[in-house]
Amino acid sequence: MKQATRCIVCGGTRLTGMPTWVAPFLRTYVWHTSTDIDCRFLTCEDCTVCFYDLRPDADEMERLYSGYRGENYVAERARHEPEYRRVNQGLGSDREVDVRRENLEQILRNVRGTRPLSRVLDYGGDAGQFIPRSLEESRRFVYEVSGVAPLEGVIAIADPASAAPYDFIMCCHLLEHVAEPFALTRELARLAAPEGLIYFEVPWEPHFFRRVLRRIGRKGWTPPPLHEHITFFTRQALRTLITRAGMSVLACSIHRIDLDGTDLRVISMFAAPGGADPGSPGKSRFVALAAEFGRWFFMEARKHVHSLLRSPGGPEGSIQ
């Protein structure tokens, strides 16, 4: 394992930390130990990203993701987290695929303009099932480490550079899992064609705001143990990552994706290689963060009310 001493998004050093530990499932599945592993949950005061200082190395990532959600993975995880079998049945279901793909289809329509998007790569895209239907005539590639077989018409590649450049690259629900999101984002910028389009989607779990509220109230929130999501983005943090990697942000939105009661909230961001960020000038960081906080606070309140009405067990958790 490696330890981050600088911000993994902006490279800054103004980090504040809270102690936490590695979740028992990961501790045994990845590190093969029954001894507690301590780590720190860090917040960057500059770009607002939250992350764990403990960053898995390449071998540890391989152990975690090579048979991801396979039989052995599910059995081991359910041993530590009995609820996981039920949760896993909903993950990757036909309904989830349909809802997520349709969400992207709608927002892509507004951003692509006259771009042909004839070569498409879903980086970390499982079997390629999340690629929008409107791109079925395109040459579709998928880069995936779990070893799953691609859908008919989708070409699995072992090296993403082998079929570059791409007119459209998707990177969905991946950045929050990887040890070095900046290196990955820079790689995607290199793989894109000069007029290409890159789509990022990450869960919206802005722990930055929770930590700020805790500081004001001096109670109420402690960081979750380290699990599969090792980085938590705000919109501000994702924008910083993308522009630092040499891309410009074309569009950004936050969506609530309704998966039969599961609270999946995502940041959707389109980027283009090169150029300045047209979204930043004239909009101060404070205004951007205040707007994001307002949205988060409203959604948290609504979720809390819904969960109180539905069950006495309290608000539902997020899925990692």
Between the alpha carbon of residue 169 and those of residues 12, 239, 263, 275, the distances in Å are 28, 17, 26, 18
Is 50 near Zn ion (CB under 5 A)?
no
User: Rounded to the nearest whole angstrom, what is the least distance from the CB of residue 225 to Zn ion in the complex?
Assistant: 22
Q: Which amino acid is at 64?
A: L
- Of the candidates 22, 23, 42, 47, which one interacts with Zn ion according to CB under 5 A? 47
Give whichever of 150 and 181 is closer to Zn ion, judged by the CB atom.
181
Buried b (16+ CB within 10 A) or exposed e, 26-54: bbbbbbeeeeebebbbbbbebbbbbbbbb
Contact at 8 Å (CB) between 292 and 47?
A: no
Considering only the stretches 12-20, 132-140, 274-282, 286-294, report the one whose residues sit in contact with Zn ion under the rule CB under 5 A.
12-20
DSSP 99-130: HHHHHHHHHHHHH-TT----EEEEET-TTSTT
Considering only the stretches 9-17, 217-225, 261-269, 293-301, report the one whose residues sit in contact with Zn ion under the rule CB under 5 A.
9-17
Q: What is the C-alpha separation between 245 and 226, in angstroms, rounded? A: 26
- Of the candidates 30, 42, 44, 169, which one interacts with Zn ion according to CB under 5 A? 44
Total residues contacting Zn ion (rule CB under 5 A)? 7
Q: Judging by DSSP bridges, how do beta strands 166-172 and 119-123 pair with one another?
A: parallel
User: Rounded to the nearest whole angstrom, what is the least distance from the CB of residue 253 to Zn ion in the complex?
Assistant: 22
Give whichever of 54 and 117 is closer to Zn ion, judged by the CB atom.
54
Is 9 near Zn ion (CB under 5 A)?
yes
Is 12 near Zn ion (CB under 5 A)?
yes
Q: Give the HSE-up count for residue 284: Cα atoms under 13 Å, Cβ half-sphere.
A: 3
Contact at 8 Å (CB) between 195 and 247?
A: no
Is 178 near Zn ion (CB under 5 A)?
no
Give whichever of 9 and 135 is closer to Zn ion, judged by the CB atom.
9
User: Rounded to the nearest whole angstrom, what is the least distance from the CB of residue 42 to Zn ion in the complex?
Assistant: 9
- DSSP-assigned letter for residue 22: B
Q: What is the C-alpha separation between 140 and 168, in angstroms, rounded? A: 10
Considering only the stretches 1-9, 151-159, 186-194, 273-281, report the one whose residues sit in contact with Zn ion under the rule CB under 5 A.
1-9
- Of the candidates 24, 46, 105, 285, which one interacts with Zn ion according to CB under 5 A? 46
Is 180 near Zn ion (CB under 5 A)?
no
Give whichever of 138 and 240 is closer to Zn ion, judged by the CB atom.
240
Residues forming contacts to Zn ion in the complex (CB under 5 A) are: 7, 9-10, 12, 44, 46-47
